[in-house]
Chains A and B, each alone.
Chain A
Amino acid sequence: MLQLRDLRCERGERLLFDQFNVNCAPGDLVEIRGANGCGKSTLLRIIAGLAQDYEGSVTWLEQGVAVPASEFRSRSLYLGHSSAVKASLTPLENLTWLSELSGPVDHARAEAALQTMQLAECDGVLCHHLSAGQQRRVALARLLTVDAQLWILDEPFTALDAAGVTLLQSLIQQQAEQGGLVILTTHQPLTGVSDVKLVQL
């Protein structure tokens, strides 16, 4: 489904990876492992289509046919280090705007997503007053409002409490079971999910 061919990337004359090949199939749950600074985030940004400075190819295949980059964007969801949550908007306003970037959004579905992320009582409160963990939950609620086949998650467990970590792990498991594809980096052991494909960078 997702094919990485001969990826090579340098940053400031330092070689991050060379001849990097990975094939991912539907239902895969891929964890990229590696020490700090080994290029995990860079790899995810390359896959998402943000970073352009690399050699090799990233191809998204559907029934064996490569999908153009513009359509790939509506199939994938990238959540990076920064949450993209605006301090002066409420959780619902933030979630609606962020989800609309992937297509039309159902209002009821957005509210249900906030409910699942246990943000219901923060309704109408500006994100400025929310904790880092709650803001992270707002960003993660987008996983529930957007039907993306590919999730690219860069350290999604940062700032989450134990309940949040369990919740997110179950969401990831669900996505894989429904035939989606999850690529993530984390420094926490993934205890709540099974069949993790490890890729050492």
Chain B
Amino acid sequence: MRRELLLSVRNPAASLNAVWFFVLVCSLFAIGIGPDKAQLAELSPGLIWVIALLAVMLSVDALFRHDYADGSLEQLLLAAQPLYFLMLARLMAQALLIAAPLALVSPLLAVMLGMPVPGLPALIVSLLVGVPTLVMIGAIGAALTVGFERGGLLLALLILPLYVPVLIFAAAAVTNAAHGYEYTGPILILIAQFVLAIALSPLAVVAGLRLNYYH
């Protein structure tokens, strides 16, 4: 996990790209929909979450690609330690690296899109628990497609349907909060999804990575 964080400090582009994408697309929506504040505010929870989801999908594609190319992945698969824990550490590091910057800039974007202020805490919390789940699910797809030259589109087709449950509850939490309603219910479900993802996805990732080296 330390190596993972160190690598990302040396190559900040990977996690910053996702944030740039997030900011730019949000601005595009603001421009595209027009200056109608009420309409923007109404759409903003769903918009921000869909864009965050796409940003995660783009960054997840590179999760194992470099390691596959330079041979680190085969060394990882031959490690003496249980692979489940190695993958768990690495997925946690990646989830942190992707979720934290997105959550950090999200209040700015929310204000830009005119989201009511009570929605902000719910947005930040939902991103902090929801995005790691997305990374874990995305990692399964990335593990399966790492051997393909152009796996990006296939990855999107594989994992976007699996993102639906997270999107439903995250957007619900933010919408509820923006309207001033109770939002702990959907957040609790997001946490449950996160716990489930963190426990199970390393298993699927390990199995998926092994398939690439089957022959």
Q: Do A and B come from one complex?
A: yes
Interface, chain A (partner B; CB < 8 A) = 11, 45, 48-53, 73-74, 76, 78, 80-89, 93, 97-98, 101-103, 126
Question: 1/0 per residue B128-158: CB within 8 Å of A?
Answer: 0000000000000000000000000000000
* Most chain B C-beta atoms within 10 Å of own C-beta, residue among A48, A73, A76, A86: A86
Please state if B78 and A53 are interface contacts (CB–CB under 8 Å): no
Known contacts A51-B213, A53-B215, A101-B79, A88 near B7 by CB under 8 Å: yes
Interface, chain B (partner A; CB < 8 A) = 3, 6-7, 10-11, 69-72, 74-81, 210, 213-215
Contacts of B74 in A (CB 8 A): 50, 78, 80, 82, 84
Contacts of B80 in A (CB 8 A): 73-74, 101-103
Please state if B70 and A85 are interface contacts (CB–CB under 8 Å): yes
Instruction: Quote the shortest CB–CB distance from A38 to chain B (angstroms).
Output: 16
Contacts of B7 in A (CB 8 A): 86, 88-89
Name 16 interchain pairs, CB-CB below 8 A, sorted by A. A45-B213, A50-B78, A53-B215, A76-B78, A78-B75, A81-B71, A84-B72, A86-B72, A87-B70, A89-B6, A89-B7, A93-B6, A98-B75, A101-B78, A101-B79, A102-B80
Q: Which residue of A lies closest to B11 (CB)?
A: A88
Distance A83 CA – B72 CA, assembled complex (angstroms): 8
Q: Is the interface of A mostly helix, strand, loop or mixed?
A: loop
* A89 CB contact (under 8 Å) in B10, B69, B71: B10
Q: Given A82-B71, A101-B80, list of 5 further CB < 8 A pairs?
A: A50-B213, A51-B215, A52-B210, A82-B70, A102-B80
Distance A82 CA – B69 CA, assembled complex (angstroms): 8
Instruction: Quote the shortest CB–CB distance from B203 to chain A (angstroms).
Output: 16
Contacts of B71 in A (CB 8 A): 80-84
Instruction: Quote the shortest CB–CB distance from A172 to chain B (angstroms).
Output: 20
Please state if B214 and A73 are interface contacts (CB–CB under 8 Å): no
Please state if A97 and B3 are interface contacts (CB–CB under 8 Å): yes
Distance A49 CA – B214 CA, assembled complex (angstroms): 10
Contacts of A103 in B (CB 8 A): 80
Contacts of A101 in B (CB 8 A): 75-76, 78-81
